[in-house]
Structure 1
Amino acid sequence: MDFAELAALASGHAEARAIQTALKLGIFDMLERSPLDDADLATAISANRRATALIANAMVALGLLDKRANRYSLTEASQRYLLRSSAEYLGGLILFDEAIFQTWTNLEQTIRTGLPARATDMFQSRPEETERFIRAMDSLTRARGDPAYVANRLDLSKVSKVADLGGGPGTYTVALLRRWPHLRGAIYDLPATLEVARKILAEREPAALERIDLVRVDYLYDEIPGPCGALFMSNIIHNEDETDNAQLFRKCFRALESGGMLIVKDHIMNADLTQPRPGAIFALYLLLTTRGRDYSFDEVSRWLRDAGFVDIRHEALPSPPFTSSMVTARKPK
């Protein structure tokens, strides 16, 4: 690693905060209809003209705006990912990161104590936090394309019901139902999350909502409703510790039909927990906010075998754009 790469890594917070602020100010949405100069852009976002020019210039430097004849316009990337009107809008995740940015200032203390920097409540305590978090998860996966890719990789032709455990906004459930029209779906999640999921699905996927049951389940304390032909969980096990994950897989085993499939999508790490790189960095966020971390395939497969699963397989998703893997397993017939 040379100086330039190290310096860029160490100062990455500046770029992140600039993008978060530009998005929060509405700069990209204000440029959707036509280019604007700094004066008109400042008026549109109710901000200081000089300061607006500086942040707009920073967005040009980052490749998120163009500047010609002192007028700012969108680039292909900002049109695709930073407009609220885009189906691939990533802003939900960016605004979530902006809201929790302060949490990272506690990393040193968390490293020293091993204790999370905030309540490990999965953002269930305040409605505005719940909605921001769930829309962030929806935003990330839709922008990156995970749900469609996963739905096309799975063979659910002989499954009648698929349940998404901790399914959040239902983004994966909708993709699975779209790919397999015969399926009935269910989202098993906490009450505050289900309220947001119902709102998102009613806004965007009312037809799919008719095929989805929203079921209140706290997988740490409740049995998982069954029987299901397939259980899917994305980014769930990294929130929990080793004991809870082992118990969770036993619950999944009981909920599945004979021959049923369990699909686990997550950062699945190598044996020494250093790759993939995004997973190793994300583990620090998990340390700050959850009881969990990212786990290796050896750990995950051991929990699955102990629960009774067979035919355990690991598939790394193409990187880029993805940063995670799928582990599949079956309950014996």
Structure 2
Amino acid sequence: MDFSQLAALAGGHAEARAIQTALKLGLFESVAHGRCDADALAASLKADRRAVGVLADALTALDLLAKTGKQYDLADIARRFLIKSSAEYLGDLILFDEALFETWAHLEQTIRTGAPARTPDMFQVKPDETERFIRAMDSLTRARGDATYVAERLDLSEFPIIADLGGGPGTYVAAMLRRWPHLRAAIFDLPATLEVARQIIAEREPDLAPRIDLIPLNYRKVELPGRCSAIFMSNIIHSEDEATNADLMRKCFRALNSGGIAVVKDHIMNEELTEPKAGAIFSLYLLLTTRGRDYSFSEVSGWLRGAGFIDIRLESLPSPPFTSSMVIARKP
């Protein structure tokens, strides 16, 4: 690493805030309607002309806008990921990060005390926070392509039903149901989350809704209803501590039929907990907002083995674009 790289890392908040602010203002949507100068853009956004010009120039420097003379246009990357009509729209995740930006100001206190900076409630208390969080998870998964990739590579041909534990918006099960026409799915999640999931499925996957059961469940407090033939968990264990995860694997084991599989998709870290880099950095966010962190394969496989699972294997997803892996285990 040289000076320029270090300085860029230390000042990375400026780039993030520029993109977040542009999304909140609707700047990318305005430019998407047609090339415009700073005067027209400021009028569209009802904002200060000079300030809008500075922001638009910064976004041009970041390769999110293109500038010819005084006219701004969308760069291809912005048209693909930052426009709401795009199937790969990432904006909901970026706006979720924006809503949590002030939480990062408490990182020093969290490091000193070990206590999260906000109550780890999985964004269930306020309906607007729940919707922002769940749509952010859907946005990330769709934009990066995780669900389609996983559905193509998990062999579910012998399983009649899959339970998505903490399935959130249903993005993964929708892809699985499209890949495997015989399959039914159940999403086990908290009630506020399921209300948002119902909206998203109705908007995007109405033809799949009859094959998806939405089942309110808090896996910390109750057993999983079973029996089921496969259980899928994406980005669940990183929100929990070690004891909760070990208990969760035991509950999954009890809920599965003999021969059933459990699939854990997450940042699966190396033994030093430093790679993938995205997982190591994300663990700081988890410290601020949850009881968890990202875990290594030996930790995850230890919980599964302790619960009684066999044939435990790690399947890494290609990086880029993905930063996670799948741990797959079978109940004898």
- TM category (shorter chain) comes to over 0.9
The answer to whether the aligner puts 1:82 opposite 2:77 as a matched pair is no
How big is the shift at 1:31? Answer: 1.5
Computed over aligned residues only, the root mean square deviation of the Cα atoms, in angstroms, reads 0.5
Cα deviation, 1:120-177, whole Å, max 9, x if unaligned, reads 0000010000000000000001000000000011000000000100000000010000
Match of 2:161 in 1: 161
Identity of aligned residues (%): 68
Q: What CA distance in whole angstroms lies between the structure 2 residues aligned with 1:114 and 1:63?
A: 38
Q: For 2:96, give the aligned amino acid.
A: F
Match of 2:105 in 1: 105
Q: Please show how residues 195-210 of structure 1 align to structure 2 within 5 Å.
A: 195-210=195-210
How big is the shift at 1:17? Answer: 0.4
Cα deviation, 1:70-114, whole Å, max 9, x if unaligned, reads 111111100000000000000000000000000000000000000
2:83 alignment partner, SS class: coil
Match of 2:328 in 1: 328
Q: Please show how residues 97-176 of structure 1 align to structure 2 within 5 Å.
A: 97-176=97-176
Match of 1:272 in 2: 272
Match of 2:253 in 1: 253
Match of 1:310 in 2: 310
Q: What CA distance in whole angstroms lies between the structure 2 residues aligned with 1:69 and 1:243?
A: 60
1:214 alignment partner, SS class: strand
How big is the shift at 1:275? Answer: 0.8
Q: For 2:143, give the aligned amino acid.
A: A
Cα deviation, 1:279-323, whole Å, max 9, x if unaligned, reads 000000000000011100000001000000000000111110000
How big is the shift at 1:33? Answer: 2.1
Q: For 1:118, give the aligned amino acid.
A: R
2:230 alignment partner, SS class: strand
1:315 alignment partner, SS class: strand
2:208 alignment partner, SS class: helix
Match of 1:36 in 2: 36
How big is the shift at 1:69? Answer: 2.4
Q: What CA distance in whole angstroms lies between the structure 1 residues aligned with 2:209 and 2:14?
A: 40
How big is the shift at 1:225? Answer: 1.3
Q: What CA distance in whole angstroms lies between the structure 1 residues aligned with 2:36 and 2:210?
A: 44
Moved over 2 A (4+): none
Q: For 1:57, give the aligned amino acid.
A: D
2:173 alignment partner, SS class: helix
Q: What CA distance in whole angstroms lies between the structure 1 residues aligned with 2:196 and 2:67?
A: 38
2:67 alignment partner, SS class: strand
Cα deviation, 1:199-231, whole Å, max 9, x if unaligned, reads 011011101111100000101001111111110
Q: What CA distance in whole angstroms lies between the structure 2 residues aligned with 1:176 and 1:226?
A: 20
Q: What CA distance in whole angstroms lies between the structure 2 residues aligned with 1:262 and 1:50?
A: 55
Match of 1:178 in 2: 178
Q: What CA distance in whole angstroms lies between the structure 2 residues aligned with 1:314 and 1:110?
A: 32
1:167 alignment partner, SS class: coil
Match of 1:58 in 2: 58
Q: For 1:20, give the aligned amino acid.
A: Q
Q: What CA distance in whole angstroms lies between the structure 2 residues aligned with 1:283 and 1:176?
A: 28
- In the superposition, the TM-score normalised over structure 1's length comes to 0.99
Q: What CA distance in whole angstroms lies between the structure 2 residues aligned with 1:222 and 1:125?
A: 20
Gaps of 5+ in 2: none
Cα deviation, 1:46-79, whole Å, max 9, x if unaligned, reads 1000000010011100000001121111111000
The answer to whether the aligner puts 1:218 opposite 2:218 as a matched pair is yes
Q: What CA distance in whole angstroms lies between the structure 2 residues aligned with 1:9 and 1:127?
A: 34
Match of 1:282 in 2: 282
Q: What CA distance in whole angstroms lies between the structure 2 residues aligned with 1:57 and 1:98?
A: 21
- In the superposition, the TM-score normalised over structure 2's length comes to 0.99
Q: For 1:28, give the aligned amino acid.
A: F
